[in-house]
Amino acid sequence: MVLACSPVTGDSETTGAIGEASTGDGESTDASTTGGPADPGAIFASSYRVTPARVRSASDGDSLCRQWALRAHPGGVWRPMPGWRSFTAWLSDASSAAVDRARFDGPYARFDGQLVATDLGSLARGELLAPVLLDEHGRGAGHGAWTGTGPGGRATGSDCLGWVSDSPGELGTAGLPWATDAAWAFGPAVACDQALRLYCVGAPGPADHECGDGVVQIPIEDCDGGPGCTACMRDRLVFVTSVAYLPTEIGGVDGADHECARLAREAGRAGWDSTRSWLASGREPAGAAHGLSPGAYVRVDGDRVVASGRDLVAGDGLASPVSLDETGALVSALAWTGAGGIDCDGWTSDDPSAFGGVGMTFAADGRWADAATSACDQRRRLYCIEFAVVE
């Protein structure tokens, strides 16, 4: 049985596949210690889909949720979710219930501020004011989520053998992120060879650091004021490649990422291991898998390009053009970017009748990344960016 993308009502489990919809410990945290009852906790469906053997247990699911909350990059810029250390997975097994591990009594809201549940009890009973439906980056997350959890936030006993089995002959309870009744968590029983999302819930709280307090709060900060430290993040590098490529030589976004890391490493750049390409493919924007720094971006000569990664995305008013390669040589050329989703058939075509979006290395406005299109039989450069979060 294949479930449609509309909400499913009722309390009983059914067996089937889930399709896309459009669009630690058991301590609890009192609202009075985390910002007061007016401040909701957060709930999201993970952007990642995992098989049960990747989860391993309900408590290991908590660790995954904390990692995802820490690495959130809405709008492409790294911004850890406040209270990220408090996040737990809405996941149950024989030794642990989702409702018992949640650290906050509610209310709970989505990334966009929409209230989902007035309190933990309402969440557990499936009395939702709005569907979960968004991931930690604020994007739509319609695919099902592993829960092993029934009404009341307790284990159903259907948990892929304690979240260790990827066998298609075993089943695990899954939830439907577009549902607003008990089915949000107590939906179908799904074969354990499927990769689904996890639900994550957390308490409100500070971002676990205060810029300028004299302490470098790892991993949230990598500096705490002084030269070269913006928003308590060190300056990061952006450059254009010294090599020009045909689209078929790039190897897609993964190949471009590898090239950027290789060139940065060979040039002796300290951040080479987190340097990736600024290349879009299809509907995936450039850098979609990674998080830009909220701090400044500079060229290899130290000249500032933008004050924040957010400004790099906006492309307005660059202080300097991205016109130096990894060695410091001046480059006046076009660079493949895939802007507008125009990507030489996924960077697989050298056909002169196909096109790819390009930017101009000498532009100091939005044209740095979105200037024109180029026939795919041409060799063009790539842009390389040092990200704060690399997936």
Asked whether residue 12 is assigned to any structural domain, the reply reads no
Q: Which amino acid is at 347?
A: W
Q: Answer whether residue 386 shows pLDDT above 90.
A: yes
Cβ–Cβ under 8 Å, residues 296 and 230 = yes
The answer as to whether 183 is a domain residue is yes
Domain-located, residue 19 = no
Confidence of residue 35 (pLDDT cuts 50, 70, 90): very low
pLDDT tens per residue, range 247-261 = 999 999 999 999 999
**How sure is the predictor about 20, in pLDDT bands with cuts at 50, 70 and 90?**
very low
- Residues 177, 91, single domain; the answer is yes
Same domain? For 317 and 197 the reply is no
Same domain, 298 and 379: yes
For residues 38 and 7, which has the higher predicted lDDT (pLDDT)? 38
Mean predicted lDDT score pLDDT of the chain: 89
Q: Which domain holds residue 95?
A: 39-202
Q: Does the structure show a pLDDT above 50 at 220?
A: yes
Residues 171 and 291 occupy one common structural domain: no
Confidence of residue 18 (pLDDT cuts 50, 70, 90): low
Q: What's the rounded mean pLDDT across residues 199-211?
A: 80
pTM for this prediction: 0.81
Model confidence at 27, pLDDT cuts 50, 70, 90, reads very low
Note the pLDDT of residue 225: 79
In this prediction, residue 10 carries a pLDDT of 33
Are 48 and 195 in a shared domain? yes
Q: What percent of the chain has pLDDT over 70?
A: 89
Average pLDDT for residues 142-167, to the nearest whole number? 96
Evaluate whether residue 167 is within a structural domain: yes
pLDDT at 100 over 50: yes
Amino acid 391: pLDDT: 78
Any domain includes 207: no
238 plus 166 within the same structural domain = no
Whether residue 21 lies inside any domain: the answer is no
Taking residues 119-148, report their average pLDDT. Answer: 96
Q: Write out pLDDT tens, residues 54-95.
A: 999 999 999 999 999 999 999 899 989 988 999 999 999 999
Tell me the average pLDDT across 304-319.
91
- C-alpha–C-alpha distance, residues 358 and 266, integer Å: 25
Q: What is the mean pLDDT of residues 346-373?
A: 97
Looking at residue 30, what is its pLDDT? 41
The whole-number pLDDT of residue 43 equals 98
Q: What is the mean pLDDT of residues 232-247?
A: 96
Number of domains observed in the structure of the chain: 2
Please tell me the least confidently modeled range out of 15-24, 118-127, 305-314: 15-24
Say if residue 373 is in the same domain as residue 307.
yes
Residue 316 in this model has a pLDDT that exceeds 90: no
HEC string for the chain? CECCCCCCCCCCCCECECCCCCCCCCCCECHHHCCCCCCCEEEEECCCCECHHHHCCHHHHHHHHHHHHHCCCHHHECCCCCCHHHCEECCCECCECHHHHCCECCCEECCCCCEEECCHHHHHHCCCCCCCCECCCCCECCCCEECCECHHHCECCCEHHHHCCCCCCCEEEEECCCCCCHHHCCCCEEECCCCEEEEEEECCCCCCCCCCCCCCCCCCCCCCCCCCEECCEECEEEEECCCCECHHHHCHHHHHHHHHHHHHHHCCCCCHHHEEECCCECCECCCCCCEECCCCEECCCCCEEECCHHHHHHCCCCCCCCCEECCCCECCCEEECCHHHCEHHHHCCCCCCCEEEEEECCCCCHHHCCCEEEECCCCEEEEEEECCECC
- Structure-token pair, residue 126: 């499936």
User: In this structure, are 375 and 316 located in the same domain?
Assistant: yes
303 and 366, same domain (yes or no)? yes
Is the confidence at residue 31, as pLDDT, over 60? no
In a domain, 88, yes or no: yes
CATH number at residue 50: 3.10.100.10
Quick one: 280 and 381 in the same domain?
Answer: yes
Say which residue, 254 or 225, is predicted with more confidence: 254
What does the pLDDT read at residue 207?
54
- Claim to verify: residue 90 and residue 194 sit in the same structural domain: yes
Q: Is residue 334 part of a domain?
A: yes
